[in-house]
């Protein structure tokens, strides 16, 4: 039989041994949890960067479309009351960067108007239209408005919006 004194000595010795094991196990769990938390934070940072870049591209695309609309509006409703798209083919290509005051923030948006699919700068027949003309009374200036919007860190990426315009002209 074991006396009570021996039993209490064994109990005290086992307590001292267990305190060191608990400390080591708790430190291992703490290191594992810290590693998991760091990995989750890294994923969260990457997701934030990707969603920010995606949002910036969507905003740049919408701004380029808006700049294209602005170019069309200003060419048709110019200050002189003239429709610039009805000008002679000799006047094209035009660069209209300076007129992009509403959508241009610095030098990140440029716009050009040039002749589409007409290397000789001739007045072309009009594409399909609802205006009947059996005697070929109408010709067209078929033009392309191209807006380039830079975006991203250091403006390294581009969004390009092309818009076609067919302006009827009387022969």
Tell me the pLDDT tens digit for each residue of 23-60: 888 999 999 999 999 888 887 888 888 888 889 899 88
Which residue range forms the structural domain that includes residue 57? 4-170
pLDDT at 88 over 80: no
Which tokens sit at 137?
């009374």
Name the average pLDDT for the chain: 75
pTM: 0.61
pLDDT at 98 over 60: no
Give the mean model confidence (pLDDT) for residues 147-158.
Answer: 86
Give Cα separations from 151 to 36, 52, 67, 113 (angstroms). Answer: 35, 12, 14, 21
pLDDT at 95: 62
Task: Count the domains in the chain.
Answer: 1
DSSP 156: -
pLDDT at 106 over 70: no
**Cβ contact 134:119 at 8 Å:** no
Query: DSSP assignment of 86-139, as one string?
Result: GS-GGG-SEE-GGG-TTT--SSSEEEEEEESS-TT-PPBPP-S-SS--TT--EE
Of residues 85 and 109, more confidently modeled: 109
CA pair distance 168, 141, nearest whole angstrom: 7
What are phi and psi for residue 68, nearest 5 degrees?
-65, -45
**Cβ contact 74:111 at 8 Å:** no
pLDDT at 100: 66
CA pair distance 17, 106, nearest whole angstrom: 72
Query: pLDDT grade, residue 92 (50/70/90)?
Result: low
pLDDT at 158 over 60: yes
Which of left, alpha, beta for 50 (phi over 0: left; psi -120 to 50: alpha)?
alpha
Give Cα separations from 153 to 43, 67, 75, 156 (angstroms). Answer: 21, 21, 32, 6
Of residues 1 and 41, more confidently modeled: 41
CA pair distance 47, 65, nearest whole angstrom: 27
């Amino acid at each position: 039989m074991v006396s009570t004194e021996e039993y209490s000595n064994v109990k005290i010795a086992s307590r001292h041994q267990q305190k060191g094991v608990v400390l080591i196990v708790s430190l291992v769990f703490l290191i594992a949890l810290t590693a998991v938390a760091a990995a989750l934070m890294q994923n969260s940072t990457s997701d934030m960067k990707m969603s920010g870049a995606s949002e910036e591209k969507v905003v740049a695309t919408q701004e380029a479309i808006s700049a294209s609309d602005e170019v069309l509006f200003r060419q048709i409703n110019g200050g002189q009351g003239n429709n610039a798209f009805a000008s002679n083919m000799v006047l094209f290509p035009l660069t209209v960067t300076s007129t992009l005051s509403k959508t241009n923030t610095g030098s990140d948006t440029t716009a050009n108007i040039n002749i589409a699919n007409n290397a000789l700068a001739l007045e072309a027949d009009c594409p399909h239209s609802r205006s009947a003309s059996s005697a070929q009374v109408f010709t067209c200036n078929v033009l392309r408005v191209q807006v380039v919007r830079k975006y991203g860190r250091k403006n390294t990426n581009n969004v390009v919006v092309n818009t076609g315009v067919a302006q009827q002209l009387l022969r």
